[in-house]
Amino acid sequence: MQAYQFERIYSQMEKEFGKIRKGEEDAYAMLLFPMESNALKIRRANPKSNSRRLREAIGLVLFDIKSRYTGEAYDVEAFRDEDNRKLEEALLMAFDPFTNEVIKSIPGMPTEPAELREYYKEPIMCLLRIRDSIDRWEKQAGADGYFTFIEEYMGSQISGDEMKFSVLAEME
């Protein structure tokens, strides 16, 4: 896979699933918070896992998700390194039943491709929103601007190293 193909995943997923507009984040807070707090915990423990590595990790997660609901395999190993891999796993721990055993054990977790596609819609939208935020904060505050913002915005609420998660459940 070439770099331009890797970068296209963001626009492809946005076209397929939509995105969260600025100001609409509160409706997705239950999923955004675990993703962002997990990423911040990794950043604190590993300073090389910076905002730019988080953007790469989001691309890797989007390919992980796409492979789960399509059954296609994507060769993204050339884009994975130790620093973005840690962030990739932290993001997946927030919502992915294939990564987080606790989520996997919840009755009714989807397993079929069509169900998985629907299940992943909100996480994908959240990931794309985080990516937009990374881009904005890097322009305003430099290479690690996103984590500087997150640390100031909600850093005091995040402690420990345990990965948090959120499960999307339908209420009957």
Whole-model pTM: value is: 0.91
Whose CA is closest to 131, among 5, 12, 45, 1? 12
H-helix segments, 47-160: 51-70, 82-93, 101-104, 113-119, 121-141, 145-154
Query: How many other C-beta atoms lie within 10 A of the C-beta of residue 15?
Result: 9
Tell me the HSE value of 71 on the side-chain side, using a 13 A CA sphere: 5
Cβ neighbours of residue 56 under 8 Å, at least 6 residues apart?
79, 84, 87
pLDDT at position 142 is: 78
What are the sequence ranges of the domains in the chain?
3-13+25-157
| Per-residue model confidence (pLDDT) at position 172 | 35
Mean pLDDT, consecutive 10-residue segments, the chain of 172 residues? 88 95 89 93 92 95 96 94 95 94 89 91 96 92 87 82 66 34
